[in-house]
Amino acid sequence: MSNQRSFARRLAGTLIERWVGRAYVEEFLGDLDEMYEDRLARGKFIAEAMYWVDSIHLIFGFSSTEKQQSHSMFIGNMIKIAWRSAVRQKQFTILNLLGLTLGIATCLAIGLYVYEESTYDSFHVNGDRIYRINQPMIWGDWNEQLSCMGPGITEAIRAEIPDFEEVTRIMFADEQLMSVTIDDQAKHFNEAKYFMAEDNFFKVFTFPFLKGDPNTALKEANSMVITASTAKRYFGDADPMGKLIDVKSPTGTNALFTVTGVLADVPAQSHLQFDMLGSLASVTGFDSGRSTWIWTIFGTYGMVKEGTDVAALTKKLQALPPKWAEPTTQGVFNQTFEQFTKGQPWTIYLQPLRDIYLAKSPTFNRFGPSGNPEFVMIFGAIGVLVLLLSSINFMNLSTARSSNRAKEVGVRKVLGSEKNTLVRQFIVESVLFVTVGTVAALAIVQLSLNAFNTLAEKQLVLLPHFTSPYFLGVIIAFILIVGLAAGSYPALYLSAFKPAETLKGKLRAGFKGTGIRNGLVVFQFTVSIALIICTFFVQKQLNYTRTIDVGITKDHVLQLYNMHQLGEGADVLKARLENNPAFTVVAKSGFLPPNVWTGDRYRAEGPNQPVVDLHYMRCDENYLPLLQAEFIIGRNFDPANAADKYNIIINEEAAKVLGYGSKETWRENSPLGKSVVQSFGSEEKLQIIGVVKDFNFNSVKQKIGPLLIMRNDNDKHWSYGAGFPSYLSMRLNPGSVSSGDELQRIIDGVKAEVAKVDPAVTFQYSFMDEEFDNTFREERKMSVILNLFTVLAIVIACLGLFGLAAFSADQRKKELGIRKLHGASVRQLVFLFSSEFTKLVALSIVISTPLAYLATDYWLSNFAYRTPINIWVFMAAGVTAMSIAAFTVGFQSFSAANANPAEVLKNE
């Protein structure tokens, strides 16, 4: 038996001794300790929680057969008294219950959100032994982590490091056109959630099979595993096993894959989101390229053996790149390992599986969603603060209301009630009240969960958590903590009074003093005002991002996807759309702003030129005119000029990093006519024919980087997307779009043209301005949720203020009546009464302003382009808070000031 009791167990023991008497303590605590030791095998948290549950049972006599009947009668009497007290003071009861319920409901909803975000990938059986293997961003900032590795790291680990039980690779396969034939009818699907995986993938990850053998399902080339919902989409109710799926790659090649397994649908709480897995052995060139370290499109995961020292393993991994990567750097770049790394460490990181979704250090994750740890932290803090506000409300109003029960306490003492009995009464009332509020909050959350899920774009559930001892333990702990905290102060204070003093209405000044309550009101409004200010700035920043000049005209640009699936038909479609008067320009491109993520290494022509990292984009001669990009010097691509096939255009930032300086220096050192050499692959020179003004080709969260623009048909430059432009963009003629119906008619017309060229290709489109907007989708979602919870925080604070104002009005009605008899006007009385509360709000404004400034400045530091922090926002928030408080208190102050003095004083 454990001799060292935790604080929670010692506290429970003290309460048992105080409430049930010394005669039973040794027996009760002995039984509790034995049960605690038995439950430790299920976890300390569960054992502690159940210790408290059993303690409560003992306190109220459920474990004592001798006192069960008397305890039941006693508790029943307490409940009756609590009910009568609540009914007698209806206004306080409603305000208390409403504020507490709203606070608990808000915290529960946020708690479910935080729990889901924090428990991604927890369903894997060996999840605590699985790590993703990351490396530095070798194509950019080496201080950042990259979650995509070359396949060579796996070969090196398998050869040298026995600490891993399994190492497996998956490869992002791009969006594919899938076709199946059912009853002589062809069905076509665009699949974005399609990866290639090694045959040992299911030895590492727990994705349950419904059909097939996980050990062999991906062993052979051209084998495929699909999820149950995908099987339903493709084959209906037919057995999918052995069926053929025709896969058309972005390069236009076709391959038939055989379905060898069916999985249960991938859980939403997985950072790997896929509908189909093809065998990695099917990938052309994989066998010949499996030792390279620069084909960085593979997610690499390792499952370590039981008892592995991860810190020691990490040290072993650092020895791999210098030894195993140098053949790649020499063979591809003609550089030594040190030359390639520029002296920077090629660090290998082990990232725990359950930390991937909410990674503290951002990584480039192409295999599924990534969470935002800052959002989780912000919402978690808001949940705790709102719960704290509602709990403060409850305690504030409970202590205020309890002073009206001083005479009741005096009568009870005269009639023989002991102090312990009175203490129990107040605490039982408080715990019952919190219990009712908690039950009501659970009901509200369950009823509103669908709406919250829509808002947060989540799949949160509540009812399954009722089977979790952790969840129940948290609920019970909250009820006890808040109930005891709110009930203990009035219980211990009032029960200590002498009956004679309480019956005469003599209370100690300390209890009548409002210092503690005023301090709590200041805290409530400090939090509420800080939330108002932060909400203002979040909305201001989001509005600011919509008005930033991104350097191109992003409005009225319609974009079509999957054009590579048309093959040569893309040119046919382009020609037809160019004849459509609804469009002024039609262009092909390999990527679309704001999602140009590709990059490579280049150097300017000449001896000893440094290698620099540039983004690159492929397009035709129409794309820059379509964007309305501004040329500073030089010209656009000319289709009549054969040499332009291998010429390039760069932006201002690229000119700087290549060593040509800014435009002010180009008269002496012009980049025009100079050449750039790709540091990887071909040594062909790419001549610069133009420089365009910088424009945002990625999210406006980031600063504009260096960009190299080349023709789609440049076949001497190795790059991602070479030879198969995936997008067709059209600038709408403003005169052709007079209404939403007209725009829809144009879109339907384009859809019909795509179907004429190839009915198998799924029609997908977007608008460029919407794509720029979508880069702030998470922030916009955060803004809406923040607005909602800010309003709730203000409502809760105002409920508390309203209740205290009502209490104060009742306490000061005699004073106000006397002042009115002596000539005070209603206006003077309203000012006198309200000034007490407006001073508290003013103090809250002073405290909250610097706190909100620091929080806002920290959040805005995440943006390359940020809205200024204006003083008017703080002033507006202060005026808003003061107005809300004045309105809240005004009703009570006006009612109190208008009361008839004769009615108020007639009983004196």
pLDDT of residue 503 exceeding 60:
no
Euclidean distance between CA atoms 157 and 127, whole angstroms? 20
Euclidean distance between CA atoms 132 and 354, whole angstroms? 10
Q: How confident is the model at residue 64 (pLDDT cuts 50, 70, 90)?
A: very low
pLDDT of residue 62 exceeding 50:
no
- Record the tokens describing residue 128, joined without a space: 């605590």
Q: How confident is the model at residue 323 (pLDDT cuts 50, 70, 90)?
A: very high
20 CA to centre of own chain? 48
pLDDT of residue 652 exceeding 60:
yes
pLDDT of residue 325 exceeding 80:
yes
The secondary structure element, H or E, covering residue 863 is none
Euclidean distance between CA atoms 844 and 842, whole angstroms? 5
- Record the tokens describing residue 668, joined without a space: 């002496």
What are phi and psi for residue 738, nearest 5 degrees?
-95, -15
- Would you call 16 helix, strand, or coil by DSSP? helix
Average of per-residue pLDDT across 358-363: 73
Q: Closest Cα partner for 132 from 277, 367, 299? A: 299
What does the pLDDT look like over 738-749, one tens digit per residue?
777 899 999 999
Average of per-residue pLDDT across 503-526: 67
Beta bridge partners of 172: 195
What are phi and psi for residue 380, nearest 5 degrees?
-60, -45
pTM higher than 0.75: yes
Which pLDDT does position 509 carry in this prediction?
41
Q: How confident is the model at residue 514 (pLDDT cuts 50, 70, 90)?
A: low
CA 690 to each of CA 64, 604, 631: distance values in angstroms, whole numbers, following the listed order: 91, 15, 7
Q: Closest Cα partner for 221 from 284, 170, 171, 282? A: 282
Q: How confident is the model at residue 33 (pLDDT cuts 50, 70, 90)?
A: confident
Which pLDDT does position 496 carry in this prediction?
61
Which pLDDT does position 892 carry in this prediction?
74
- Would you call 33 helix, strand, or coil by DSSP? helix
Euclidean distance between CA atoms 678 and 196, whole angstroms? 29
pLDDT of residue 897 exceeding 90:
no
Please state which of the ranges 132-141, 681-690, 712-721 shows the lowest mean pLDDT: 712-721
Average of per-residue pLDDT across 319-347: 90
pLDDT of residue 634 exceeding 90:
yes
User: How much helix, strand and coil, in percent to the nearest 5, is found in the chain?
Assistant: 55, 15, 30
Specify whether the CB–CB gap between 229 and 181 falls below 8 A.
no
Which pLDDT does position 502 carry in this prediction?
57
What does the pLDDT look like over 575-618, one tens digit per residue?
999 999 999 999 999 989 998 888 888 889 888 888 888 999 99
Radius of gyration over alpha carbons of the chain, in Å?
35
pLDDT of residue 359 exceeding 90:
no
What are phi and psi for residue 147, nearest 5 degrees?
-85, -5
Q: Closest Cα partner for 896 from 796, 821, 820? A: 820
Any idea what the Cα angle at residue 393 is, between residues 833 and 60, rounded to 5°?
135
Average of per-residue pLDDT across 707-725: 75
pLDDT of residue 511 exceeding 50:
no
Average of per-residue pLDDT across 293-299: 92
Of residues 24 and 654, more confidence is placed in: 654
Which pLDDT does position 705 carry in this prediction?
93
Specify whether the CB–CB gap between 806 and 91 falls below 8 A.
yes
Domains of the chain, residue spans: 67-119+419-504, 127-355, 518-547+776-905, 557-774
Average of per-residue pLDDT across 822-846: 84
Residue type, 243: K
Euclidean distance between CA atoms 854 and 857, whole angstroms? 5
Specify whether the CB–CB gap between 357 and 369 falls below 8 A.
yes
Average of per-residue pLDDT across 819-826: 76
Q: How confident is the model at residue 418 (pLDDT cuts 50, 70, 90)?
A: low
- Record the tokens describing residue 508, joined without a space: 């100690």
Residue type, 114: V
Which pLDDT does position 67 carry in this prediction?
46
Q: Write the DSSP assignment of 130-181 as a string of letters.
A: EEEEEEE-TTS-TTSEESEE-THHHHHHHHH-TTEEEEEEEEE---EEEEEE
Which pLDDT does position 66 carry in this prediction?
45
Euclidean distance between CA atoms 480 and 490, whole angstroms? 16
Would you call 498 exposed, middle or buried from its count of C-beta atoms within 10 A (0-12, 13-18, 19+)? exposed
Euclidean distance between CA atoms 833 and 612, whole angstroms? 70
What does the pLDDT look like over 247-268, one tens digit per residue?
987 666 789 999 999 999 999 9
Euclidean distance between CA atoms 752 and 759, whole angstroms? 9
Q: Closest Cα partner for 115 from 638, 474, 406, 422? A: 474
Which pLDDT does position 594 carry in this prediction?
92
Average of per-residue pLDDT across 692-706: 93
What are phi and psi for residue 668, nearest 5 degrees?
-90, -25
Q: How confident is the model at residue 723 (pLDDT cuts 50, 70, 90)?
A: low
Q: Beta-strand (E) ranges in 305-409?
A: 349-352
* Residues constituting the chain: 908
Average of per-residue pLDDT across 140-151: 85
Q: Closest Cα partner for 677 from 663, 658, 693? A: 658
pLDDT of residue 202 exceeding 80:
yes
Mean pLDDT for all residues in the chain: 85
